[in-house]
Structure 1
Amino acid sequence: MRFAFTEEQEALRDVVRTAVERNGGPTIREPADGPGFDEDLWSQLSGQVGVCGLAVPEAYGGDGFSLLEALIVVEELGRGLARVPYLGGLIAAEALQTTGNDPECARLLPPLARGEKIASLAWAEPGIGWRTDDFTTAAALVNGRWWLTGRKVHVLDGSRADTVLVIATTDDGPALFAVDPGSVVATTPLDPTRQPARVELDDTPGTWLGRPDVHRVLEVAAAAVAVESVGAAQRWLHETVEYAKVRTQFGRPIGSFQALKHRLADRHVDVEAARSLSHAASWAVAARDERAPELTAMAKSACTECYQAVAAEGIQLHGGIGITWEHEAHLHLKRAHANAQLFGTPSHHRAALLG
């Protein structure tokens, strides 16, 4: 498999990177009541750049590009640890499109494509994670109306979602429903740059949207988390290398010590390998290639573990400053561990590869 990004795709990457960098770094100094997300950056990306509609067909108010363009945006947002509700919305929009329900897509997708509303997909459940069948959340049709009961956790961007989509079990298998955002309860995140939530459903009315292709949605989600992890790992490794050039011990920069050179070189090799794999998975899932299930599973496991290794290395080489709240080091460590759990752990995806 060989492919290269087009000039237009590289230009998109540059625009998003510039917007993120102009809005400053990801440091959060208010652990108790820090901002939910960067509203200025979100306004630029959704309004001026138009990233929300990249993977939405023109028939539904989008720009009609592919998932590959959207995943380029995800990688750049990961690089800057950007606090914007893009990842959750991308996955929710994909889940809705897989239902093939044209009237509901035409109703719900246009405001999402314009960035006027934020969407979130409620999938994971306590104790079973992101499985693709046998959901404990159930939907029952009573007197012509659907009622949902259950609990969803780790709902990306759920705290600010205007459109909440829930996967629930029916007599004929999993189905997708829209529920009132009032069912969403904010939670304390491991990663303070995210806004996860849980959804409490107790005979909650839901609007039938159709039957989603949960396997396709999981592939998209895995590819997205993989490229986000690579973007963050690449930038954090660069920052760590630059710091190793100026931090001194025993009268010389720590980056001059052979042992540390080897460790950083190993991480560089890891990042480059992970980046290639994440791009292969992005291409495969965007092209709906038959190798997408295998490549996305490989990318999700390898890229998130690579990010964990880079984040830990950076903490250690930054020394005392690396464990302070004011420095971004702890944000990378938390994002890395959170990403490893999102949409299936590395061991889960390896087990899937083994069949």
Structure 2
Amino acid sequence: MDFSLTEQQEEFRSYIRKVLSQDGVTRIARETAVGNESELTKVHEKLAELGVTGISIPEKYGGIELGEIDLIPIMEEFGRAVMPDIYAETLAFVVPILLEQGNEQQKQEYLSAIASGDSLLAVAWCEPHGDYSYDSIGTTATKTIDGYLLNGTKSLVRHTSQVTHFLLLAKDSSGDLCLFIVPKDKVTKIEEQKSFDATQPFGLLSLENVEVTSECRLAVNDIEEVLERAMLKLIVALNSTMIGSMDRLVEMSTEYAKIREQFGQPIGRFQAIKHRLADLKVTLETARALSHYATWTVQHKSNDLIETVYSAKALLVDSYIKIAAESVQIHGGIGFTEELDCHLYVKRSRVYENYFGSPYDVRERAAIAMGW
């Protein structure tokens, strides 16, 4: 089974890399970390022109209508540049749910806006002191004559300036789960949440009697199954993002080992460094193969897709943390400084460790899928 990308996919990757790395690989991440999102806005417009925002959207709504495998080079480049994950949430989670459960009016409105780059949607699921389980949802949706009143608080929500709506998980008066697409300007208050990964802005959403129309609610049947299917697509997209980050770390470490001299020769000639770099490369390629296979199982709806996807995430998170930590050590004393990019990847690796589920949750899901 060949998981290598096609010539067209690799060519598209080169365009994405050119846009993201015009003035440095992590330029956008560093600007975002200090609160300047102007560069992110400029890049977002260029990505929309390239068709990135419409990659998974049908042509009738202005998209390109490609599959999960075609997202691999895009997400890998986003990981390489430590971009905010709002694109993964929109293209790999929100879009599949809209395609499956949205009515025609909702599809025309939201999918067309996403494809053109005019709109991005963040997922508002987790709540303060809660987790990503359905039982932890405390936000309520009360039916009114004209629509619904939303009350509650959502935590760890991505809120870059490109975000226009939130896909919000709540419970109705019967205690049943429901999904709403809430305009950003409807939210009562958005407070910035501090995080050691400043390249990824998080917000605390407060909703106090927020009025939304009935059209904002997605008429979802079997909502837990719908969310689980979308989650699998989001995870493989995030897996690809982690591969891009790991690939960049190995590249950085190798380059540094060639130019950093000690005792009159490059440190890459010493066995201690050679063995570390070889180990990192093996770790990267093993993770890449599993990541690509997991994406293939999702696109082809393979029988082993659930255990493969969650097993892949468990392995990739561990691999990412390992490679990020090793890259700091290979760079020596300078590896701990703000000057180098190592710390950006170290911090992002720890964010992914608990992103949409803890390591324990991920392994438990894989074990259950395998019948353990």
Same fold (TM over 0.5): yes
Paired AA for residue 116 in structure 1: D
**Higher deviation after alignment, 77-86 or 190-199:** 77-86
Structure 2 counterpart of 1:153: 155
Q: Per-residue displacement from partner, 1:303-334 (whole Å, max 9, x unpaired)?
A: 12211111111111112222222221111111
Structure 2 counterpart of 1:42: 44
Match of 2:257 among 244, 268, 275: 244
Structure 1 counterpart of 2:122: 120
Closer, same or farther in 2 for the Cα pair 1:149/1:273, shift >3 Å?
Answer: same
User: 1:231 Cα deviation (Å)?
Assistant: 0.7
Closer, same or farther in 2 for the Cα pair 1:168/1:24, shift >3 Å?
Answer: same
Tell me the number of residue pairs that the alignment of Structure 1 and Structure 2 aligns. Answer: 354
User: 1:5 Cα deviation (Å)?
Assistant: 2.5
Distance 1:283 1:322 in 2: 36
Distance 2:100 2:170 in 1: 15
For the pair 1:204 / 2:234, whether they are aligned, the reply is no
User: 1:125 Cα deviation (Å)?
Assistant: 2.2
Structure 2 counterpart of 1:270: 283
Structure 2 counterpart of 1:175: 178
Structure 1 counterpart of 2:24: 24
Contact 1:26 1:83 in 2 (8 A): no
Closer, same or farther in 2 for the Cα pair 1:102/1:294, shift >3 Å?
Answer: farther
Structure 1 counterpart of 2:193: 187
Contact 1:155 1:197 in 2 (8 A): yes
Structure 1 unaligned regions, length at least 5: none
Secondary structure at the counterpart of residue 162 of structure 1: strand
Q: Per-residue displacement from partner, 1:124-167 (whole Å, max 9, x unpaired)?
A: 22333222455222222133521222222222345541122201
Secondary structure at the counterpart of residue 245 of structure 1: helix
Secondary structure at the counterpart of residue 324 of structure 2: helix
Structure 1 counterpart of 2:103: 101
Q: How does 1:1-355 map to 2 (within 5 A)?
A: 2-27=2-27, 28=30, 32-35=34-37, 38-47=40-49, 49-82=50-83, 85-90=86-91, 91-132=93-134, 135-157=137-159, 160-170=162-172, 171=174, 173-182=176-185, 183=187, 184-206=190-212, 207-211=216-220, 212=223, 213-355=226-368
Distance 2:85 2:137 in 1: 29
Closer, same or farther in 2 for the Cα pair 1:30/1:114, shift >3 Å?
Answer: closer
Q: TM-score, normalised by structure 1?
A: 0.91
Structure 2 unaligned regions, length at least 5: none
Closer, same or farther in 2 for the Cα pair 1:31/1:44, shift >3 Å?
Answer: closer
User: 1:105 Cα deviation (Å)?
Assistant: 1.5
